[in-house]
């Protein structure tokens, strides 16, 4: 038997390729084609010989997942002991073959997973693409590259995994745990809430969000429907991101959406119903328990108890505001797309509508997205357009209501018909009166309406064989309307509002970007050259106008002009910035063995003074495919591919504001001077803050080394080590309050991030009914602030709602957002222990303590416990983060389970801190029923006393917890109906599925959720009364025709 080897590339399945292949096979008699890694070994003899028992004619058709016919698929008879030659599919995907009654058929095709199916007549076979065997091409900055040719650190995210996890309206939520080095957290579980995305940690005080590129233009993940996503890439090192210049200082996420394809019209419809269920419930006191705790604290301080709390048993359980405020809620997601075209013109139109009711009363979110992508070809010219429109309306619950929910006294009746507004309140004798949060949520109307229009058009031309010129023009416009109305009401003596208030703000932002690129590609004797030159211009303008007023004739007329002229105020502002850039890139590889990439970009930004506007950001990377060397041959059957990489580059960053280098001022009602006899007040103005006119670009120097490997044709490994150092860090330097004005922005900081990333995947053999894929990733990020200001100043985070103190900050030598707390050493069990706790001079360190009080560490050894004893207590960042995905299929069933988590991160439970504060009359934690008493000494909860002379309720390490967790993020099961069955009703495919998200979490953290982060770079580890995360169960179906 003769064997012939030849290379085939049929990834795009163009008609010409199919005809050439089929013609070749028919004219030469080569019909049996066992494909391996896109190379075919073709058997010449006896290709048409049939076993004598093959007396049954079997006919069928082979298509891909979209129902398109596959031409040239090898169809072989598979008996018990051998696989023999058969036939191939024709131009319509049809085949005819003689088989015996007991035979099975093996279907194999380049780039697709082979299938073995028992032979029967009128078969309909659907083959699935095998991404492991395709020569995958991925999108990079201003172009494309083969994944195998990358020399920089770029992660490709599994789009199917994202779709399985994308229950929530913002697709960014589904990125959590999917790729190493990318952190996705949320500051709220509210409908329509945004997310915080960090790539390789926090490197700036200005802005740490990555640049998002959608179809070549800056965009927003919230404007993209998961059903439209074709591919997702994350550019993580400077070598891959520097081509985007200063916009890419925090990494880049590139989204490519699906486009129409030549052929028949394809329609896809997907709809799902999700039930969102409240997650964890905090263990707080009921009415009887609240009265017991309040009475105990007051009696310990020698204070009389309240009459309304004198008989705790008579109060019962009272109102459970958690049960009243949170409830299961539906989310409906509907998606429709239509696509098609011919060889010269293609189109794709899609739309989606999301209607999400929140688990918190009155909260909801609605979003409508419409997208169109078209492309036209005429000779050497290609034209295209991507148009998108997004509109959403969000009804939100004010943060202060969420914060007040846990401490609202359970003795508050839900309703009281005697009160204006109809809701109950706290008895007037109680000093600290909580709010009926349920009633207030019903009264307040807070909503936002936003609309976004994206319009991107491009034209490109190929000329002189190796050149390509492309111009891309993108225009985006955002409109916003925020509205907040609070009516007049009465709930109690301290919780009332005499005059209704209304505020409205309208805003508009327009963004224009024009990009010109010239590309050159050439391959000469194994040398591959790829060069790019570009020029871009970017401009953004924003304007807003707002007004507010108090007092209205009634609670139903809600326009500012109808107010009774109390508290009328008007606000307005405008801003503008421009940026001009030139860029260049050079790619070289020799025989796909040695690689070199060099980038440079020069940005000029209006956010700097004239002499400092330009910054230059170069990068380069190299790679060596070791497995292509001759000395590697002995182990190539085990290590199929091995490539090592290294890169270095510089990235820049701008200030967050448009005019940080310019001193600005403004008028204020409390500024001015009295002239004459004191009756003539003339308003004045003052500067808003001090400035440094010489601020410059932040500069992040990034180094990355790594390797990519494939083992045994089924295992893929990727590892990276990175070291990023940012200098000239833009930060606000604290100044003395007596000086007045805000902190000036200066280049006086340094920060460092380093870490390790690892990703591994395994795919099973695709020749069996049961097929599966396993992938795992792990990453570490170590952050350290190297320099702060001119004298090592500390920047503090937000103050706690529970104590008006800051416990987080940025300080030299520690991670950003670190905790600085007093250290709790336990509880004094006796007066003797208190008397023995002395300083070096023999003085009592805690003279106001009594048995049952907290013992604090005298960290600075000055003999006094105060704020100076707050020392480094932990970091909000984990030692490592990880994700594990297992997906598989058995015949027509498919399933996915995705787990993700973190280890080693700390979180301050501000909710528990507030619920342990017995110095007020607000509600308390049920745990305080186990507080220290002379009869109950085996506890970690100090004694209850209203006056708290020992400051037991101060923020300390007893409220700081390990927030490590493991979460079952996604669990999904699906079933795809047999093609032969659904074809009878005119469908190409039909899949039904059931999934659960955030199913359960394993953690030692006692707060709401260990994965939350508060807003602000310095507050990542604060858990203080945020909208809780819901558990989701979804059922839905997808149909294509």
The predicted pLDDT at position 184 comes to: 87
The predicted pLDDT at position 792 comes to: 83
N- to C-terminal Cα separation, the chain = 45
The predicted pLDDT at position 51 comes to: 38
Virtual CA dihedral for 214, 217, 223, 229, nearest 10 degrees?
-20
Question: Residues 6 or more apart from 188 whose CB is under 8 A from it?
Answer: 1026, 1027
**Residue position matching structure tokens 């790019």:** 532
Q: Could you count the other beta carbons within 10 Å of the beta carbon of residue 68? A: 15
The predicted pLDDT at position 81 comes to: 53
d(CA 161, CA 883): 12
* Three-state DSSP class for residue 944: coil
3-state SS record for 269-284: EEEEEEEEEECCCCCE
Contact 782, 774 (CB under 8 A): no
- Element (DSSP H or E) covering residue 446: strand 445-463
| CATH fold group of domain 3-126 | Immunoglobulin-like (2.60.40)
d(CA 602, CA 609): 16
d(CA 597, CA 613): 27
Structure-token pair, residue 310: 């004198």
Structure-token pair, residue 780: 């570490």
Contact 911, 1008 (CB under 8 A): yes
Does the pTM surpass 0.85? The reply is no
Report residue 297 CA to chain centroid gap. Answer: 44
The predicted pLDDT at position 425 comes to: 94
The predicted pLDDT at position 27 comes to: 34
Residue-level length of the chain: 1041
Question: Residues 6 or more apart from 21 whose CB is under 8 A from it?
Answer: 8, 10, 71, 72
Going by the DSSP 8-state scheme, the letter that residue 933 receives in this structure is B
The predicted pLDDT at position 1038 comes to: 92
Query: Could you state, in order of their start, the residue ranges of all structural domains in the chain?
Result: 3-126, 823-869
* Three-state DSSP class for residue 749: strand
Phi, psi of 24 (to 5 degrees): -60, -45
* Three-state DSSP class for residue 565: coil
Phi, psi of 501 (to 5 degrees): -130, 145
Among 986, 1030, 1008, 823, residue whose Cα is nearest residue 67: 986
The predicted pLDDT at position 185 comes to: 84
Structure-token pair, residue 1016: 């602000």
Among 140, 60, 65, residue whose Cα is nearest residue 93: 60
Q: CA distances (Å), 25 to each of 47, 73, 90, in order?
A: 11, 11, 11
d(CA 629, CA 632): 6
Structure-token pair, residue 1010: 């260990």
* Three-state DSSP class for residue 26: helix
The predicted pLDDT at position 450 comes to: 96
Pairing of strands 906-909, 1022-1023: parallel
Q: Which long-range contacts (CB under 8 A, 24 or more apart) does 460-466 make?
A: 460/381, 460/382, 461/380, 461/381, 461/382, 462/380, 463/380, 466/520, 466/521, 466/522
Strands (E), 866-1014: 871-874, 880-890, 893-903, 906-909, 960-962, 965-976, 989-997, 1001-1003
CA–CA–CA angle 621, 625, 627 (5° rounding):
165
Using a 10 angstrom Cβ sphere, with 0-12 exposed, 13-18 middle and 19 or more buried, the burial of residue 484 is middle
Structure-token pair, residue 411: 């003795």
Contact 398, 362 (CB under 8 A): no
| Rg of the chain (C-alpha set) | 33
Q: CA distances (Å), 639 to each of 159, 626, 633, 646, 715, in order?
A: 27, 10, 10, 20, 9
Q: Transcribe 773-822 into DSSP letters.
A: EEEEEEE--EEEEEE-TTTT--EE-PBPTTTS-B-EEE-TTS-TTEEEEB
3-state SS record for 230-287: EEEEEECCHHHHHHHHHHHCCCEEEEEECCCCCEEEEEEEEEEEEEEEECCCCCECCH
**Residue position matching structure tokens 């800056």:** 218
The predicted pLDDT at position 678 comes to: 62
Q: Could you count the other beta carbons within 10 Å of the beta carbon of residue 179? A: 24
The predicted pLDDT at position 1001 comes to: 93
d(CA 241, CA 200): 13
Phi, psi of 528 (to 5 degrees): -110, 125
Q: How many CA atoms lie within 13 A of 853 on its CB side?
A: 23
Q: Is 67 left (phi over 0), alpha (psi -120 to 50) or beta?
A: left
Q: Transcribe 107-136 into DSSP letters.
A: EEETTEEEEEEE--SSEEEE--B-TTTS--
Going by the DSSP 8-state scheme, the letter that residue 415 receives in this structure is B
- Element (DSSP H or E) covering residue 291: helix 287-300
- Element (DSSP H or E) covering residue 636: none
Number of helices and strands in the chain (H, E): 10, 56
Phi, psi of 225 (to 5 degrees): -90, 140
Phi, psi of 868 (to 5 degrees): -70, -10
d(CA 212, CA 219): 6
d(CA 403, CA 282): 13
- Average pLDDT, consecutive stretches of 10 residues, N- to C-terminus, the chain (1041 residues): 36 36 35 33 34 67 81 76 67 83 78 80 82 64 82 84 68 81 86 88 84 89 87 88 85 90 91 93 95 96 95 96 96 95 93 95 95 93 95 92 92 94 93 91 95 95 92 96 95 92 96 96 89 96 95 89 85 93 94 92 93 93 92 89 94 86 73 70 74 90 94 92 93 71 83 95 82 94 92 86 86 95 96 94 94 96 94 95 93 92 95 94 96 95 96 95 95 91 87 92 91 84 87 93 88
Structure-token pair, residue 302: 């020698």
The predicted pLDDT at position 745 comes to: 86
- Element (DSSP H or E) covering residue 438: helix 437-443
d(CA 651, CA 1002): 39
């Amino acid at each position: 038997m003769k064997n012939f080897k030849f290379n085939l590339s049929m990834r795009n399945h163009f008609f010409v390729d199919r005809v050439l292949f089929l013609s070749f096979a028919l004219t030469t008699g080569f019909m049996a084609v066992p494909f391996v890694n896109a190379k075919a070994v073709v058997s010449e003899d006896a290709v048409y010989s049939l076993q004598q028992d093959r007396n049954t004619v079997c006919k069928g058709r082979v298509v891909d997942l979209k129902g398109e016919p596959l031409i040239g698929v090898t169809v072989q008879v598979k008996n018990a002991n051998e696989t023999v030659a058969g036939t191939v599919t024709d131009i319509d995907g049809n085949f005819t073959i003689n088989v015996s009654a007991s035979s099975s058929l093996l279907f194999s095709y380049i780039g697709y997973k082979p299938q073995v199916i028992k032979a029967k007549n009128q078969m309909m076979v659907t083959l699935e693409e095998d991404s492991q065997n395709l020569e995958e091409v991925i999108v990079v900055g201003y172009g494309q590259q083969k994944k195998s040719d990358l020399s920089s650190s770029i992660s490709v995210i599994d789009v199917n995994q994202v779709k399985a996890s994308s229950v929530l309206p913002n697709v960014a939520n589904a990125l959590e745990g999917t790729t190493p080095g990318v952190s996705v957290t949320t500051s709220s579980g509210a409908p329509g809430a945004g997310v915080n995305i960090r790539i390789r940690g926090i490197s700036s005080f200005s802005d740490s969000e990555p640049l998002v590129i959608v179809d070549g233009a800056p965009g927003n993940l919230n404007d993209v429907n998961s059903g439209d996503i074709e591919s997702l890439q994350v550019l993580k090192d400077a070598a891959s991101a520097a081509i985007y210049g200063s916009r890419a200082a925090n990494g880049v996420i590139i989204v490519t959406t699906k486009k129409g394809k030549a052929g028949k019209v394809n329609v896809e419809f997907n709809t799902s119903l999700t039930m969102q269920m409240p997650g964890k419930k905090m263990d707080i006191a009921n009415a009887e328990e609240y009265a017991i705790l309040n009475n105990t604290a007051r009696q310990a301080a020698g204070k009389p108890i309240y009459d309304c709390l004198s008989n705790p048993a008579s109060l019962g359980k009272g109102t459970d505001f958690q049960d009243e405020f949170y409830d299961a809620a539906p989310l409906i997601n509907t998606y429709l797309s239509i696509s098609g075209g011919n060889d010269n013109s293609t189109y794709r139109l899609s739309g989606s509508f999301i209607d999400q009711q929140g688990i918190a009363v009155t909260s909801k979110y609605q979003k409508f997205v419409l997208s169109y992508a078209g492309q036209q070809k005429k000779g050497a010219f290609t034209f295209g357009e991507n148009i998108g429109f997004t509109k959403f309306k969000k009804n939100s619950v004010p943060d202060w209501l969420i914060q007040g929910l846990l401490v609202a006294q359970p003795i508050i009746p839900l309703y009281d018909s005697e009160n204006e507004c109809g809701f109950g309140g706290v008895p007037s004798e109680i000093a600290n009166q909580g709010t009926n949060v349920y009633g207030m949520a019903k009264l307040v109307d807070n909503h936002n309406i936003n609309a976004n229009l994206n319009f991107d058009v491009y034209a490109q031309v190929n000329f002189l064989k190796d050149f390509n010129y492309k111009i891309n023009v993108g225009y985006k416009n955002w409109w916003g309307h925020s509205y907040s109305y609070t009516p007049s009401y009465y709930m109690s003596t301290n919780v009332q509002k005499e005059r209704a208030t209304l505020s409205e703000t309208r805003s508009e932002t327009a963004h224009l970007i024009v990009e010109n690129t010239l590309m050159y590609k050439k391959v000469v004797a194994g040398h591959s050259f790829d060069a790019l030159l570009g020029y871009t211009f970017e401009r953004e303008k924003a304007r807003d106008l707002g007004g507010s007023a108090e007092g209205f004739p009634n609670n139903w007329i809600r326009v500012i002009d109808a107010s009774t002229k109390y508290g009328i105020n008007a606000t307005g502002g405008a801003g503008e910035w421009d940026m001009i850039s030139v860029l260049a890139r050079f790619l070289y590889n020799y025989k796909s063995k040695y690689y070199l990439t060099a980038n440079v970009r020069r940005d000029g930004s209006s956010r700097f003074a004239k002499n400092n506007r330009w910054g230059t950001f170069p990068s380069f990377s190299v790679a060596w495919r070791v497995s292509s060397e001759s000395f590697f041959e002995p182990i190539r059957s085990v290590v199929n591919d091995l490539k090592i990489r290294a890169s270095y580059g510089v990235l820049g960053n701008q200030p967050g504001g448009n005019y940080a280098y310019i001193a600005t001022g403004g008028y204020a009602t409390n500024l001015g001077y009295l002239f004459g006899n004191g009756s003539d007040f003339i308003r004045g103005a003052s500067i808003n803050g001090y400035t440094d006119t010489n601020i410059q670009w932040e500069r992040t120097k990034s180094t990355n080394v790594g390797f990519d490997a494939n083992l045994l044709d089924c295992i893929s490994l990727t590892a990276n080590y990175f070291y990023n150092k940012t200098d000239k860090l833009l930060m606000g330097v604290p100044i003395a309050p007596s000086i007045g004005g805000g902190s000036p922005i200066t280049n006086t900081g340094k920060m460092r991030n380093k870490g390790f990333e690892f990703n591994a995947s395994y795919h099973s053999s695709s020749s069996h009914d049961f097929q599966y894929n396993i992938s795992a990733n792990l990453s570490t990020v170590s952050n350290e602030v190297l320099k702060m200001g001119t004298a090592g100043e500390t920047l503090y985070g937000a103050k706690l709602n529970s104590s008006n103190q800051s416990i987080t900050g940025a300080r030299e030598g520690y991670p950003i957002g670190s905790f600085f707390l007093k250290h709790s050493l336990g509880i004094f069990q006796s007066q003797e222990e208190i008397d023995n706790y002395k300083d070096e001079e023999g003085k009592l360190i805690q003279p106001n303590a009594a048995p049952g009080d907290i013992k604090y560490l005298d960290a600075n050894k000055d003999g006094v416990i105060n704020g100076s004893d707050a020392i480094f207590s932990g970091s909000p960042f984990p030692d490592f983060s990880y994700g594990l995905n297992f997906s598989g299929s058995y015949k027509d069933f498919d399933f996915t389970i995705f787990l993700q988590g973190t280890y080693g991160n700390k979180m301050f439970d501000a909710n528990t801190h507030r619920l342990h504060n017995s110095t007020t009359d607000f509600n308390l934690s049920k745990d305080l029923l186990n507080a220290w008493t002379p009869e109950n000494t085996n506890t970690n909860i100090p004694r209850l006393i209203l006056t708290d002379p020992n400051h037991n309720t101060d923020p300390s390490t007893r409220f700081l917890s390990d927030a490590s967790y493991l979460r079952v993020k996604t669990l999904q099961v699906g079933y795809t109906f047999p093609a032969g069955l659904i074809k009878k009703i005119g469908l190409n495919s039909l899949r039904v599925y059931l999934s659960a998200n955030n199913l359960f979490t394993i953690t030692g953290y006692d707060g709401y959720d260990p994965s939350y982060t508060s807003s602000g770079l310095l507050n990542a580890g604060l858990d203080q009364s945020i909208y809780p995360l819901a558990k989701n169960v979804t059922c839905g179906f997808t149909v294509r025709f």
